Amino acid sequence: MAQSASNTILTFTKPLIQPEKRRPFPVSAQIFQPASPKKPGHLSTKPLTPARAVPKTNDSLSSFIHELEKEKPAVQNKTTGLADRWPEILGEDDWAGLLDPMDPLLRNELIRYGVMAQACYDAFDFDPYSKYCGSCRFTRRDFFDRLGLAETGYEITRYLYATSNIHLPNFFKKSRWPKVWSKNANWIGYIAVSNDETSSKLGRRDICIAWRGTVTRLEWVADLMDFLRSISSDKIPCPDPTVRVESGFLDLYTDKDDTCKYCKFSAREQVLTEVNMLVNEAYPDEEVSVTIVGHSLGGALALLSAYDIAETGINVRDDSRAVPVCVFTFAGPRVGNGRFRARLELLGVKVLRVVNVHDMVPKSPGFFINEKVHPILIKMAENFPWSYSHVGVELALDHKNSPFLRHDGDLVCAHNLEAHLHLLDGYHGRGQRFVLANGRDYALVNKGCDFLKDEFEIPPNWRQDYNKGMVRNKEGRWVQQERVILDDHPTHMLHHLNKIGLSTNNNYSEQ
């Protein structure tokens, strides 16, 4: 029977292990211990080995799985105690004592926010043969449902867009067809708010800003061979002209295109107006937090937007209460110089960076002059346009500690967000054995790369667009599936821009 063209919602082929219906893999099967030491007091340098070997034959494997099902642990409430501890989890004390050993509640929250960043990749259309390339596959109202994340407990209030007319060609994706959804825009993330039930569990109303990073190879790193420039040069308020950030990131955050309905406001204007409306109008009497998350280049945007929110002061209410602003980045690059780091700390923005020590992206830009060189050299080079510094607290992970992952994975694998979430689930502290605490499905690692060891028999890049978006219309012909037109910008944008004192050069009036 022919499929109707009115069926506009994209579906995916059934994965080998469905993340939305997965069951926790038994803890007993995921505890890995170091190889026996050669002599007392000497730690072996051999790779971690599994405590229980997986049988190779199909019959033995079936029996083994059946045995493990009997040992299935009880599902724990991952939010227990969060309502009382949320300021600590969001870095009130800079995560002192929470990283080594790893605090279970913090681990759960990092994974939860990481999943919200991963959703940006899973929902993004980067197929150049799609006329919707560069857009989000779903409307914001069914975004989480279509990704199997209905239990997230957030509602998206705003999609975020950026103009592709800047000097970061390897970040943006464009369709090869002449008739496309937009010629100059790319979807780069969303703003979501926790619903009443989730807010009760979290202990506050949480505003989450999730930024998309890069979706294919790492050619965009070449775009970072640029220089630092004053953040105030793009009309972002800063009393210190020596605060500098990477110019490509700044362009991505502040540029706009008056001819494009999606980019007639910059990403900066989109974020500030929405956060101001949510903090000061939608939930003025509630306990509120602003949590910003991003992976890769999205981590850079997370830092810029966090700085902007705090420097502009829209997180400060009329009674002088400041809404906390926290940033969780995964595999993020350096963004600015030492003065940028100092300014963020002065503004009270809390930053926790999750990195894989084998990933090259967090080491750039600033390969030679950065926060790790001698203080005297930093002082001498602080005014140079290539002197960078990381900000916040770093949580360093090592993919070679996971018995699930190949040690010879390429740079893309080491940078993969799902791999970072896998490593988080198994991390308990430096020197401690790798244990998947939450039973997070390791098959998710290969969703968009080839990183798992062959013995786990999970095919690489297994998540695929069903029939590449092709459907049969009423005449029985195969055509590209039509999609619902995405939201652009709310009609109250100019009102909120004026309210927070942002000037605009847009040549149109409020609708």
Active-site positions read 296, 359, 415
Question: Which of 402, 334, 490 has the alpha carbon at shortest distance from 48?
Answer: 402
280-299 b/e with 16+ CB inside 10 Å = b? beebeeebbbbbbbbbbbbb
Name residue 198's amino acid.
T
What is the β-pairing status of strands 185-194 and 154-163? antiparallel
Cβ–Cβ < 8 Å for 278, 291: no
Q: How many C-beta atoms lie closer than 10 Å to residue 411's C-beta? A: 14
Q: Phi and psi of 249, rounded to 5°?
A: -65, -40
Full DSSP string of 320-340: SPBPPEEEEEESPPP-B-HHH
Q: How many C-beta atoms lie closer than 10 Å to residue 359's C-beta? A: 24
Percentage helix, strand, coil, to 5, in the chain? 35, 15, 50
| Sequence-distant (≥ 6) Cβ neighbours of residue 41 within 8 angstroms | none
Distance CA 138, CA 125 (A): 10
DSSP 235: T
Q: What is the CA radius of gyration of the chain?
A: 23
Which pairs from 500-504 meet CB under 8 Å and 24+ separation?
500/272, 500/273, 500/276, 500/312, 500/314, 502/269, 502/272, 502/273, 503/235, 504/265, 504/269
Cβ–Cβ < 8 Å for 121, 448: yes
Q: Phi and psi of 14, rounded to 5°?
A: -65, 120
Distance CA 449, CA 313 (A): 41
